[in-house]
A and B are shown apart, each in its own frame.
Chain A
Amino acid sequence: MHKNSAIKSFFIEIGELSYFANRFFKEVFSRPFEFKELLRQCYSIGNRSILLVGVTGFIVGLVLTLQTRPTLQEFGAESWMPSMVSISIIREIGPVIIALTFAGRIASGIGAELGSMRVTEQIDAMEVSGTNPFKFLVVTRILATTIMLPILVIFGDAVALFGSYIIENSKGDVSFVLYFNKVFKTLEFSDIIPATIKTYFFGFAIGLVGCFKGYNCKKGTVGVGLAANSAVVYSSMLLFILDFVAVFVTDIFFEI
């Protein structure tokens, strides 16, 4: 009985989320476009997460290199380090880890912000002030996360590779030019393109879930906390599902 209702509410939630996504696609192409607000959101989202993404990327680069090095050394294959690290960062670790940090920062922020606007009737106030709050608040934020995450991932990947280079340089005396020469020789479009495409989906999912939770926030301050919290949990979960699908699809088309 109890289990049943949990499953039921799960599917209701999925249904509502699809409805919300559907509404996004309907409203994103209809006038008026809120360009100014979109730019403001892009700036604010980038500004709020760039430091975090940089630090995360750097540490990932360092740690990944430190951890992989001994294994490769055993086989006498240290010279493969740049290729190996760059492929795993660009294809998988960079997008996923950076998207997860981004979700922690931005999905919860959007959930809390829209949630408190809902609870304090600011969304209603916009509505009576001749503004479609769905367009003004939701569409702009989802677009902003979809645009910004891929940019942040590219930036984060670059920082991660730089972190990896620092370790390599200190241990194996590899020059900057040589290191990145090896990196770019290894990387192919089939590594970069699918990885970049999937970050658009990640960004969309994070914006969508954050907005969905905040916009439909239940009354009270408890509701706001819950909205922020579940925005992070659900968007992270969705990220992994999307990642699985992306890898699956890439496998079919590019035969990795």
Chain B
Amino acid sequence: MNQTQNIKENLQEIESKKLMLEIVDLKKSFGDNHVLNGFNLKLFQGENLVIMGKSGSGKSVMIKCLVGLMQPDSGSIKVMGKDITKLNRMELDDIRTEIGFLFQGNALYDSMTVRENLEFPLRRHKKKFGNIKDTTPLVTEALGSVGLAHTINLMPSELSGGMQKRIALARALILKPKIILYDEPTSGLDPITSKEIIELMRRVQKQYKTSSLIITHDVDCARVVSERMILLVDGTNYVEGTFPELELSKDEQVKAFFK
């Protein structure tokens, strides 16, 4: 009785907050491969939403549609109230300064040093911070927040996979975005490094007060970071709920994720 009331209050609290991301009836196919068939999502301010789904279920496609890297076939995608499928290039760039994107494969520029990697978004998105002369304070701050200040002059190829992931996170954070999109932040990492990354995500969350959308099939990651979860099956929302709710589910499809 008490518990349900708590959950209700929680839900009300979340609902009353600002809507950061909203996807309605998103569809995307590649030829005959119908990847997304009507996917829906809402992300509220300050919330951590986890999307789980099998490999190849279209999670990366969905998240790429969110930042305009792919055009959906149909459906609407609103980022902070603006439909990004209808924006021109400049408006899209403005919105993108508010979104940090952690790519599944890190996507660090391998011809640039760590410093240049972090400077790239700073110098490019001129509007947000103006024409900065000295980027060093911002770069060292972002590097410090992932605990890798000493790597500033190294090349990405000189770093381990876990360090690369952290640099990529620092690059996603450097513009102080309101929303962060994580595409499988722990994939390909050993359990200990995964834990470190998860800890880091939580710390970043507190420090920068961001809203996060986290794609993963790592149950431990979902357990720790998620406030709400969506399971993506066959290109659409299969179930939604909190981690404990889904973990106790009797549904075979849902159970399969928690093994």
Question: B residues within 8 A CB of A125?
Answer: 101, 103, 107-109
CA distance A127 to B97 in the complex (A): 11
Interface range on chain A (Cβ under 8 Å from partner):
10 to 19
Selected from B106, B110, B111, B121, the residue in CB contact (under 8 A) with A129 is B121
Is B124 touching A129 in the complex (CB atoms < 8 A)? yes
Is B105 touching A128 in the complex (CB atoms < 8 A)? no
Is B93 part of the binding interface, using a Cβ–Cβ cutoff of 8 Å? yes
* Chain A residue nearest to B120 in the complex (CB): A129
Interface range on chain B (Cβ under 8 Å from partner):
20 to 34
Given contacts A124-B64, A124-B69, contact A129 B125 (CB under 8 A): yes
Is A120 part of the binding interface, using a Cβ–Cβ cutoff of 8 Å? yes
Given contacts A128-B96, A130-B96, contact A121 B120 (CB under 8 A): no
Is A18 part of the binding interface, using a Cβ–Cβ cutoff of 8 Å? no
Is A130 touching B107 in the complex (CB atoms < 8 A)? no
Question: B residues within 8 A CB of A127?
Answer: 69
Q: How far is the CB of B157 from chain A (nearest CB, A)?
A: 12
Given contacts A128-B96, A128-B99, A130-B97, contact A121 B105 (CB under 8 A): yes
* Chain B residue nearest to A123 in the complex (CB): B107
* Chain B residue nearest to A136 in the complex (CB): B124
Is B107 touching A121 in the complex (CB atoms < 8 A)? yes
- The interface bits of chain B over 100-128 (1 if a CB of A lies within 8 angstroms of the residue's CB, else 0) are 01011111111100000000110011100
CA distance A124 to B124 in the complex (A): 14
CA distance A116 to B89 in the complex (A): 25
Question: B residues within 8 A CB of A113?
Answer: 111
Q: How far is the CB of B172 from chain A (nearest CB, A)?
A: 9
Is B225 part of the binding interface, using a Cβ–Cβ cutoff of 8 Å? no
Is A120 touching B107 in the complex (CB atoms < 8 A)? yes
Is A83 part of the binding interface, using a Cβ–Cβ cutoff of 8 Å? no
Selected from B99, B103, B121, the residue in CB contact (under 8 A) with A124 is B103
Selected from B101, B109, B126, the residue in CB contact (under 8 A) with A122 is B109
Question: A residues within 8 A CB of B101?
Answer: 125, 128
Per the 8 Å Cβ criterion, residues 121-158 of A in contact with B are 121-122, 124-132
Per the 8 Å Cβ criterion, residues 61-117 of B in contact with A are 64, 67, 69, 89, 93, 96-97, 99, 101, 103-111
Is A121 touching B104 in the complex (CB atoms < 8 A)? yes
Given contacts A127-B69, A130-B96, A130-B97, contact A122 B107 (CB under 8 A): yes
Question: A residues within 8 A CB of B120?
Answer: 126, 129, 131
CA distance A117 to B107 in the complex (A): 8
Nearest 9 A/B pairs, CB to CB: A125-B107, A121-B107, A130-B125, A129-B121, A130-B124, A130-B93, A131-B124, A121-B103, A129-B124
Beyond the given A121-B105, A129-B120, please list 15 additional residue pairs across the A-B interface where CB-CB is below 8 A.
A116-B110, A120-B110, A121-B104, A122-B107, A122-B110, A124-B64, A125-B101, A127-B69, A128-B99, A129-B96, A129-B125, A130-B96, A130-B124, A130-B125, A130-B126
- 24 A-B residue pairs with CB within 8 Å: A113-B111, A116-B110, A117-B109, A120-B105, A120-B107, A120-B110, A121-B104, A121-B107, A122-B107, A122-B109, A124-B64, A124-B103, A125-B108, A125-B109, A126-B109, A128-B67, A128-B99, A128-B101, A129-B96, A129-B120, A130-B96, A130-B121, A130-B126, A132-B89
